[in-house]
Structure 1
Amino acid sequence: MDGFFDYVNTISPISDKAFMALKPNLKFVELKKGEFFVKAGEIASTIGFLTNGLVRAFFLNQEGREYSKQFFMAPSIIGAYTSLLNKQPARIAQQALTDCEIVVLDYKKLEQAYENFHDLERLGRRVAESYFMEKEQKELEMALLDADKRYLILRERFPKIENLVPQYHIASYLGISPTQLSRIRRKLMHS
């Protein structure tokens, strides 16, 4: 649990008092590779701190084709944020791509703690701001950069991802086919 406290303090410092108020509500959960933190269609109720492992957020189109929206590599905050806020079924699933360790908090308990601890409320705002900036950055990359550059950015952001994730997940995240990804990788190896 100390890793959780240290991590959130890098985002926005919280007091020992605020942490002690949250601590009884924190649960340690292990997810095996392939298990879901959030399934599409269910209403999310928890937020998590990924202490170890890799999780992907993805959705299915009408034909059942998967699109990887995001990868979360420890340490990271995970959860179906939109579902938590609007109390509607999640449209984006979050699945463990490796065995994972997660510190989980009931979102209602966090919202209650916001009332008493403004430093927690500030932390929540900064997490939301961070996700907004990541989302905007990815949208700009998808619109403005070619697949080669997007691939290089992915490797920089997630240095070990290629050893952990099937290539079709990476291709889906980049918005390209697995065949295109193979060509890009071959080209970069020979340059």
Structure 2
Amino acid sequence: MTELKTFFQRLTPVSPESWERFAALFTPKTLQKGAYFIDDGQVAKEIGFLEKGILRAFYRNAEAVEYNKHFFVNPCFVGGYASLITGRPNQIIQQALTDCTLQVASFRDIQHLYPTCPDIERGARILAEQFFVQKEQREIEIVLLDADKRYQLFKKEFPQLEQQIPQYHIASYLGITPTQLSRIRRKMAGK
């Protein structure tokens, strides 16, 4: 719970009273490697704070081909955000790539704090703004940058992941094949 407090306090100052009410909403949860935090078609109800581990966010097309959209590396918040906001079924699956430890809370319970805990609401708004900026930046990278540049950005954003997750997940995230990723890695190693 200490990591959650440190993370949230970096977003915005939170009064001791608000923190006590906010922290009381969370309970510990573990996910084994391969387990889902949220699956396709579920309506999201919970938000999680990833204390330890790595999750991937991905979608699966009609032909069952998977496309990695994002990696969550602790410490960070996870959850089917669009589903939480709209109440519609989730489309972006979140799966543990390693064993994970989280703190989980009902999103509705957190929202109920907003009228009396404006500092918590402010933190949630700042977090949503950060997610929006990340999403827009990622969209720009996919469209405007070549695979070499996207790989360089991946290494900068997720320096520890390359040794911890399968290469095919990285290739999917970059929008290339594993063979193309191998070529890019060989080319960069030769520089």
- What is the TM-score of this pair, normalised by structure 1? 0.98
Q: How does 1:66-145 map to 2 (within 5 A)?
A: 66-145=66-145
Instruction: Specify the code of the residue in structure 1 equivalent to 2:85.
Output: L
Give me the whole-angstrom Cα distance separating, in 1, the residues matched to 2:169 and 2:175. 10
Give me the whole-angstrom Cα distance separating, in 2, the residues matched to 1:181 and 1:23. 42
* CA positional deviation for 1:54: 0.5
* CA positional deviation for 1:23: 2.2
* CA positional deviation for 1:53: 0.6
Q: How does 1:1-191 map to 2 (within 5 A)?
A: 1-191=1-191
Displaced runs of 4+ in structure 1, greater than 2 A?
Answer: none
- What is the TM-score of this pair, normalised by structure 2? 0.98
Give me the whole-angstrom Cα distance separating, in 2, the residues matched to 1:144 and 1:92. 23
Runs of 5+ consecutive residues of structure 2 not aligned to the other structure: none
Instruction: Specify the code of the residue in structure 2 equivalent to 1:126.
Output: I
CA contact (8 A) 2:22 2:120 kept: no
Instruction: Specify the code of the residue in structure 1 equivalent to 2:139.
Output: E
Secondary structure class of the residue paired with 1:44: coil
Give me the whole-angstrom Cα distance separating, in 2, the residues matched to 1:109 and 1:129. 21
* CA positional deviation for 1:16: 1.2
Give me the whole-angstrom Cα distance separating, in 1, the residues matched to 2:115 and 2:39. 29
Deviations 1:16-47 (A, max 9, x none): 11110122221011111101111111011000
* CA positional deviation for 1:117: 0.6
Paired residues, what number?
Answer: 191
Give me the whole-angstrom Cα distance separating, in 1, the residues matched to 2:187 and 2:127. 37
RMSD after superposition: 0.8
Give me the whole-angstrom Cα distance separating, in 1, the residues matched to 2:102 and 2:13. 20
Runs of 5+ consecutive residues of structure 1 not aligned to the other structure: none
Secondary structure class of the residue paired with 1:13: coil
In terms of mean alpha carbon deviation, does 15-24 or 77-86 score higher?
A: 15-24
Instruction: Specify the code of the residue in structure 2 equivalent to 1:98.
Output: T
Give me the whole-angstrom Cα distance separating, in 1, the residues matched to 2:36 and 2:13. 30
Instruction: Specify the code of the residue in structure 1 equivalent to 2:141.
Output: E
